[in-house]
Structure 1
Amino acid sequence: MAKRPLGFVCLILSLVLYFIVSIKPAPYQNFDALEGKMITVEGSVYKKETSGQTKEPVTVLYLKLFSQEGGEQWENPSAFRTGRVICYLKSGQIEPEMGSTVRLTGKFAGFERASNPGQFDAYSYYQILGISYRLNQAVISAKSQNYNILTQKAYQVRRFLSMKLSENLPKQEAAMMQTMLLGEKSGMDKELKALYQRNGIAHILAISGLHISMLGMGQYKLLRKCGMPMKAAAVVSASAMVLYCIMTGFSVSAIRAVIMFSLQMGAVLTERTYDMLTAVMVAAVLILINQPLYLKHSGFLFSFGCVLGIGLILPPLTEGKRTIHPAVKKLLGSIAMMVVTLPIYLWFYYQFPAYSMFLNLLVIPLMSILMAAGLLLLASSILCPPAAIPFAYLIKGILTIYEETCTICNLLPGNLLTCGRPEIWQMILYLSLLLLIALLRKKGNLILRWGMALAAVFMLMLPTKTGMTITFLDVGQGDCICIKNGYGRHYLVDGGSSSVSGVGEYRIIPFLKFQGISRLEAVFITHPDEDHCNGIKELIQTGALQGIQIKNLVLPDIAQTAKEEAYLELERLAAKHDIPVAYISRGQKIADNQLAITCLHPTHTYVSQNSNEYSTVLTLTVNNFTTMLTGDIEGEGEQMLTQFLQKEKTPPITILKVAHHGSKYSTDKEFLEIISPRVALISAGEDNPYGHPHSELIDRLNQADCQIYQTNQTGAITVHYKDGKITIKSFLKKIFNQGE
């Protein structure tokens, strides 16, 4: 760093900003009182796009706020007069120009906060972008005549070029090229995007350094070959990339790349030597001064991580080799980027695509051809439309290669390594080792540096033992319980919701990945009601693609005549995906190291027309710690269970998962007197239409002297048992310690 004083200063400033962000989190604004109310705002349009999230295209405006009304319930109105808001326009509204001032009224909607480990936190994500809330069905009541000519023209050019791509390419290929060249993501196929993400090549979909370097340097070299003076070519190329960044929407990766490219062209102008590491640190500081929270943004970290991989880690991994074959050098560059971005992958996505560094050796070289073909297609479609045809075929061919290669990689064993989010100590140790490798560039031998890199990777991906944990996920109005036995084996009991759409995709699967769970020894479904199994259906259908294997599906062992269509559907779905189905009834037990899972209900070939009554009831026992999971048991089923427990003289239960989300018709007084639970956990949705948990049920639990926890108040609840000590921790960071 002594040779890079500017880079050193920028590094110190970045560390100071990181320290500030870490010790002083941004304040949380509670907008619950405003949810669904009509709000009027006034602001300037800084971004426009078309949403692809609805059946009909919806125009989306991004406003820099000047004022808002209807806000007598704002906690701190002044805090948002310089904030931002997303407005989804009602159908039929005329688009305002970029930079114009508009006044509009719409229905207030806040961003959802995560209530489970691994769940996407929309509130935090948009907080980083400076966006406070959104308005739906917005209607414009006034618009200024003045607007920003530059940004409006850039938007019009973007729409025009997007239209040309749609005219000359099939729908899917057009959407891909619109994303890659123009940053327009509204038409992107969701499944194809997920395919790219699973294989570690989604970076080609973002306007980033790859795009800017190809376009900017390509333009600069072309201008030089055409005879333009070096300095003039540098100014024109840098200016063109700034305009390109404006047109494509100012993504953080594009801003980083444009700053670095502009500094590179500045070096040409001043006849100085360009230093990549200094440039990347300057870019980081310029971005972070404007918004320090970008330090928590995955796109920011990936963008800078790739550059640091090439600038800091690649040299120590190649130092000492006199000659390196170009193909080997590309592979080493891919490995260097992987080494730096691995902790980012695991921190944000909990998995790592094992073959991504090899796949990128194919993808990146073809990317330059693909982008050139896209630009030539656009030019020829304007000047001579028939000339665009061969470029369209070339684009379709390359995109087909991408898709087919990713599909093949999906079928390879170990494609997705599900490691879970690393512990803080692992991250610190890993980054310390990387820093040491960078410092040892001129010292030590090559084998030592490679050994340190491999040791760091294995250490980061190493699972940590935490003892037995039982997590009661917040799935809204539904149930989902995950059990970790502390020895690398995992179970799931139920997984569904009647209030959260896509509960498997958005809550259950992200949680499993966060925990580093790639295999479930058994998934128990207590009964086939949707609020207990629709998320499991998603897991069965997509789990293999997500890197999660279900070894067995376990259903209650009831009479064939009692199996309704929903039960039979589960059997068929499991058979379709080659998942063995087991049936469990009273007295059957699974012994797994110190953990014993025992079934108390139903009895073998139990008959009932009410699926709640035959709900599977399980106890989880480790030493003197026992948890009872009761599904939705009620009525005759609960009476039979109570009689059985009374007859068996069941010892007191430590933790009870209250049946049927806290319905007043279950968990009666006699049942509570027999099991004497110390803690009662209730899984229910916020403001659910059933009034769960019912006040009568709460009264019974209080009379039984239970400590009560509810997922709709605390988010996910994790019970941790280790060395005779029980810790109950909510996702909201409240910790309750219990003795054995």
Structure 2
Amino acid sequence: MKGRPLIVGTAGWLAGSSLAYAFSGMRLLLIWGGVTLLVSAAVLLRRQLLRSMLILWIALTLSGAYWLLNDGRNVTKLPEALAAEAGGLDGMMLHGEGTIVSAVDVDGDRADFQLELRTARMQGEAASGEGGTSIPAAEGLHERVMVQVKLQSTEQQAEARTWRRGDRIKLAGTLELPGNARNFGGFDYAAYLRTQHIHWLFKVKGAQNAQVSPPASPWSALMIFRWNDGARSGLGDKLGQIFREPHAGYMKGLLIGMQDDIDPETYSQFSQLGLTHILAISGMHVAVFVASLLFLFSLMKMTREKALLLTMLLIPVYVLISGVSPSVVRAGIMGMIGLYAARKGWLKDGMNVLAAAALLMMLWNPYYLLSVSFQLSFLVTAGLMVYVPLMSKLLRFLPKRIAGALNVTLVAQLVSFPLTVYYFNQFSLLSFAANFVLVPFITFVTLPLGAVSLLLGWIWLPAGKAAGWVTEFTSDWTFRLVRWLNGFPQFVTIWKSPSLAWIAAYFVFMYLFLYLASRLAGSRSRIPAGIAGDETAELGGTGRSIDAGNAPNNKKMRMALTGIMLAFLFLIYWEYRPTSLNGAGLVQFLDVGQGDGILITTPEGRNILVDGGGTVNFRKPADAWKERKKPFEVGAKVVVPLLKQRGIHRLDAVIVTHGDQDHAGGLQAVLEQIPVKAFLFNGTLAGTKAFDKLMDTTLKRRIPVYAVHQGMKLKPDRHTELAFISPLMDDTEQEEIPVEKSQNHVSVAFVLTMNERRLLFTGDMDKAAEEAVLERTARSSQTAMTAAASDSSNAAGTMTAKVPQAGIDVIKIAHHGSKSSSGEDWLHYWKPKAAVISAGVNNLYGHPHAEVVQRIEDEGAELFRTDQNGEVQMLIRPEGIRIRSKLGLMR
């Protein structure tokens, strides 16, 4: 790094910010002290490193202090201003006034935007507070809050669409703290908002509680972004006029980075193949924009200096129009620096330019460090600079153009792979082929055609539509190829999120492998020494091959290369393999809101999913306008991401206890994205479109389906057994699967015995089903006792096979704690030591019911609730069960 102090300083700055984010207090101070000692030791060993090490240490120290300073200031001032505790403000009614500081997103029956709150007053404070003391409103605030307005009619929806950034607004609503992650490894909304300096949600019911007025001044920085919002909206509307769906949404993402209107199915298909970077404005788009402008200016006979200057000035405009994402900001800064260097005739150094862009962005907003877009953009760009020259030597046997495209594709995919699996937990092996073929096609064909269509459409709409038809033709072929490649799900691999140490080791091994391989390839390509001189010299005598002369070194290099390659492959295999529990079993009660979702991992690594939650929708046809473009679905947004993050490559069984939406709805996404070996259900249909679709999916994916009933057993491995105790077996022969509207009554229930510990899972059993099980148990016990009198040796077998034994370690309380389940006789028979209730926070049904909670306490069972504890995990060993919950409880 000698002669490149900017790169050293930026590396130190990123390292210091990362350490300050990951650690705090004495631990951070000790790490800083350790780094200081290491830097000092490096300087003592090699004096030549003094300058670089000093720059590195100063940058690391300053960046850590800068991060802590900014992070320490990132706190809410609202409680202090309103003379209240933060917890006391949660759920408080508030009147607020301020300025809209973001674009207004109107989606279905909700309008979301960021508000800079200037004035706030708790409802009812206008007169006086306690003891008649007047409590004035808090003024002069600069508190940024996230506003969510619940719209109540199409008229209110139309009104909300007129709201703009910069408008002044008065609101009356409820102040709430944003939610933290409720599952281990789940999305933390509060942490995400904090990176935007937002600490509160301001929820408003109805647009009648929002009074909007024009901006106070037409001259402010905010008005530039207001104009930009209007320009982006106008461009989006024009693209909507030129193209049909799904092409309109696709072109909005491709040309101006507007991803909200992309067809969800199209986006999902692109995501599966690792192609979503095409839909995010990045360096590729900026490069095309710059090249197009320079070409246009050359046609206009503009001088080189003027062309470079004008292009440099227009880059910020493009960055604004395309959405100001971290990737396009990075590309824009690099483009401007590069153009300025070219105009001045300076020697260009891509890595220095990249370092300058990173440093500027981190100084502007340290929280860029936590952005996935920022990380991927800089990592891939740096990786291309470092690894492409090494890879190019390995591809010399290919034609130059093919080798160049293949080189960039391979390096980009290999470099982005660790972060891809860290954040998204899947990687398609077909991603290499898809990117190799589609990225150049979209970049050099579809993107320019789309831009021409937009330009022509702005001048004369029919001309734009004509060009758009050609563009749609190219997009159709793209969609077809993407769909075809996605028809091979066996090439999609699922990865648990790796550690940072593994990611670092990955890049080290990748560099060593490519470095040695490129050197070996370079030595093989050298010509014999005798040919290097006179063309007429004889190929004998003193003439010798350089490669032959270096044969011993090449042999050592090949051995080293083989060793590194094997170590690299082992590193990848080690991370891909399922996590070992060292003989323990694991039961995870996921927090899926108002529903059930339970993941069982056996001691030998078998995975069983019991229910998958589901989003219940009571919306009537007349309320179709309330539907959002991308509705929240718990299976796709919660269950599937958690399964992938935990490295569940496949599910050995999926058990749906019954067909109600809050248990079965989320399984649709599971079956579509996770390989499943067997599907178990209660032998009835729910008579709903959603459940019929779920059953159809099992048939289309050729998943074996089994109807379970009392008396059946499933043995996933030597240490695990599932003994089904409900529903009762129906002896009548039926040609079709019956439809049962009362799905709760026929819920699948079973006793899980794992590592000699017993857990009871009950679905949504009602009291009638519980009584039926107890009655059958009593009859079986009487039969067993009669048999024991005649043949004691045969009685034990009868008892083991047919009679559920009383006394269990854990019971999953039925129906989310409804008072229609979990009767006194039922709980008294099983005598559970611990109980788990899966229920949504502040659910509409009032679950769990106080009577049920009291019954559980009367039995002396320890109670865990997902609405209070979040996800509950139980590590099961023969000697006991270790329990922990996401929101802090552990024993």
Letter in 2 for 1:20: A
The reply to whether residue 615 of structure 1 matches residue 740 of structure 2 is no
Task: Work out whether residues 107 and 135 of structure 1, in 8 Å CA contact, stay in contact via their aligned partners in 2.
Answer: yes
The reply to whether residue 199 of structure 1 matches residue 273 of structure 2 is yes
Aligned twin of 2:724: 599
Aligned twin of 2:309: 235
Letter in 2 for 1:604: M
1:464: how far off?
Answer: 2.1
Aligned twin of 1:420: 496
1:152: how far off?
Answer: 4.4
Aligned twin of 1:105: 171
Residue by residue over 1:499-553, the C-alpha shift from the partner in whole angstroms, topping out at 9 and shown as x without a partner, is 68622222222222222224322222223333322223x237xx33x2x133322
The reply to whether residue 122 of structure 1 matches residue 189 of structure 2 is yes
Letter in 1 for 2:213: A
- Choose from 453, 470, 477 the match for 1:394: 470
In 2: Cα distance, 1:465 partner to 1:603 partner: 37
- Distance of aligned partners of 1:103 and 1:370 in 2 relative to their CA distance in 1, 3 Å threshold: same
- Choose from 640, 643, 648 the match for 1:517: 648
- Choose from 93, 104, 108 the match for 1:54: 108
1:259: how far off?
Answer: 1.0
Q: Which has a greater percent of strand?
A: 1
The reply to whether residue 358 of structure 1 matches residue 433 of structure 2 is yes
SS of equivalent residue, structure 2 residue 612: strand
Aligned twin of 1:508: 639
Equivalent residues, number: 719
Normalising by structure 1, report the TM-score. Answer: 0.87
Aligned twin of 2:578: 463
In 2: Cα distance, 1:403 partner to 1:54 partner: 27
Q: How does 1:520-669 map to 2 (within 5 A)?
A: 520-536=651-667, 538-539=668-669, 543-544=671-672, 546=673, 548-556=674-682, 565=687, 569=692, 574-575=698-699, 578-593=702-717, 594-605=719-730, 611-643=743-775, 647=781, 648=803, 650=805, 652-669=807-824
1:13: how far off?
Answer: 0.4
- Distance of aligned partners of 1:276 and 1:456 in 2 relative to their CA distance in 1, 3 Å threshold: farther
Higher RCO structure (Cα 8 Å, ≥6 apart): 1
Task: Work out whether residues 615 and 633 of structure 2, in 8 Å CA contact, stay in contact via their aligned partners in 1.
Answer: no
SS of equivalent residue, structure 2 residue 725: strand
In 1: Cα distance, 2:490 partner to 2:864 partner: 39
1:617: how far off?
Answer: 1.7
In 2: Cα distance, 1:566 partner to 1:625 partner: 37
Residue by residue over 1:615-636, the C-alpha shift from the partner in whole angstroms, topping out at 9 and shown as x without a partner, is 2221111232111111222323
SS of equivalent residue, structure 1 residue 709: strand
- Distance of aligned partners of 1:435 and 1:295 in 2 relative to their CA distance in 1, 3 Å threshold: farther
- Distance of aligned partners of 1:296 and 1:31 in 2 relative to their CA distance in 1, 3 Å threshold: farther
1:642: how far off?
Answer: 3.2
- Choose from 218, 223, 226 the match for 1:146: 218
Task: Work out whether residues 476 and 499 of structure 1, in 8 Å CA contact, stay in contact via their aligned partners in 2.
Answer: no
In 2: Cα distance, 1:305 partner to 1:359 partner: 21
Letter in 2 for 1:679: A
Aligned twin of 2:405: 330
Letter in 1 for 2:872: I
In 1: Cα distance, 2:11 partner to 2:514 partner: 15
In 1: Cα distance, 2:488 partner to 2:312 partner: 43
Letter in 2 for 1:599: F
Shifted more, 339-348 versus 179-188: the winner is 179-188
Shifted more, 606-615 versus 297-306: the winner is 606-615
Task: Work out whether residues 391 and 514 of structure 2, in 8 Å CA contact, stay in contact via their aligned partners in 1.
Answer: no
In 1: Cα distance, 2:296 partner to 2:741 partner: 77
- Choose from 726, 730, 735 the match for 2:885: 730
- Distance of aligned partners of 1:318 and 1:572 in 2 relative to their CA distance in 1, 3 Å threshold: closer
Letter in 2 for 1:162: G
In 1: Cα distance, 2:202 partner to 2:420 partner: 29
- Choose from 113, 131, 144 the match for 1:83: 144
Q: How does 1:102-501 map to 2 (within 5 A)?
A: 102-105=168-171, 107-108=173-174, 111-117=178-184, 119-132=186-199, 133=201, 136=204, 137=206, 139-143=210-214, 144-148=216-220, 150-224=224-298, 226-319=300-393, 325-366=400-441, 367-383=443-459, 385=461, 387-423=463-499, 426-434=502-510, 447=561, 454-466=569-581, 467-497=584-614
Residue by residue over 1:690-731, the C-alpha shift from the partner in whole angstroms, topping out at 9 and shown as x without a partner, is 332222322232232222110101111121225745322222
Shifted more, 238-247 versus 646-655: the winner is 646-655
Q: Quick check: which has more Rg, 1 or 2?
A: 2
SS of equivalent residue, structure 2 residue 744: coil
Residue by residue over 1:274-301, the C-alpha shift from the partner in whole angstroms, topping out at 9 and shown as x without a partner, is 2222222222222223333333322222
Normalising by structure 2, report the TM-score. Answer: 0.73
Task: Work out whether residues 433 and 456 of structure 1, in 8 Å CA contact, stay in contact via their aligned partners in 2.
Answer: no
1:359: how far off?
Answer: 0.9
Aligned twin of 2:536: none
Task: Work out whether residues 316 and 437 of structure 1, in 8 Å CA contact, stay in contact via their aligned partners in 2.
Answer: no
In 2: Cα distance, 1:482 partner to 1:383 partner: 57
Shifted more, 217-226 versus 602-611: the winner is 602-611
Residue by residue over 1:386-427, the C-alpha shift from the partner in whole angstroms, topping out at 9 and shown as x without a partner, is 543552133112211221111001112424212232345534
- Distance of aligned partners of 1:103 and 1:602 in 2 relative to their CA distance in 1, 3 Å threshold: closer
- Distance of aligned partners of 1:638 and 1:216 in 2 relative to their CA distance in 1, 3 Å threshold: same
Residue by residue over 1:185-211, the C-alpha shift from the partner in whole angstroms, topping out at 9 and shown as x without a partner, is 343222212221122111111111111
Unaligned runs of 5+ in 2: 25-67, 77-85, 126-137, 521-556, 618-631, 733-739, 782-802
Q: Which has a greater percent of helix?
A: 2
SS of equivalent residue, structure 1 residue 550: coil
Task: Work out whether residues 294 and 300 of structure 1, in 8 Å CA contact, stay in contact via their aligned partners in 2.
Answer: yes
1:59: how far off?
Answer: 7.0
Letter in 1 for 2:378: F
In 2: Cα distance, 1:618 partner to 1:610 partner: 19
Q: Percent identity?
A: 23
SS of equivalent residue, structure 2 residue 666: helix
Task: Work out whether residues 755 and 878 of structure 2, in 8 Å CA contact, stay in contact via their aligned partners in 1.
Answer: no
Q: CA RMSD in A?
A: 3.5
Shifted more, 484-493 versus 563-572: the winner is 563-572
SS of equivalent residue, structure 1 residue 470: strand
1:310: how far off?
Answer: 0.6
The reply to whether residue 10 of structure 1 matches residue 3 of structure 2 is no
- Choose from 676, 688, 694 the match for 2:831: 676
- Distance of aligned partners of 1:453 and 1:383 in 2 relative to their CA distance in 1, 3 Å threshold: farther
In 1: Cα distance, 2:244 partner to 2:10 partner: 46
1:6: how far off?
Answer: 0.3
Letter in 1 for 2:21: V
Unaligned runs of 5+ in 1: none
Aligned twin of 2:856: 701
In 2: Cα distance, 1:437 partner to 1:39 partner: 62
Residue by residue over 1:592-627, the C-alpha shift from the partner in whole angstroms, topping out at 9 and shown as x without a partner, is 222111112233218999543432221111232111
Shifted more, 272-281 versus 133-142: the winner is 133-142
In 1: Cα distance, 2:577 partner to 2:124 partner: 52
In 2: Cα distance, 1:253 partner to 1:598 partner: 53
Letter in 2 for 1:124: A
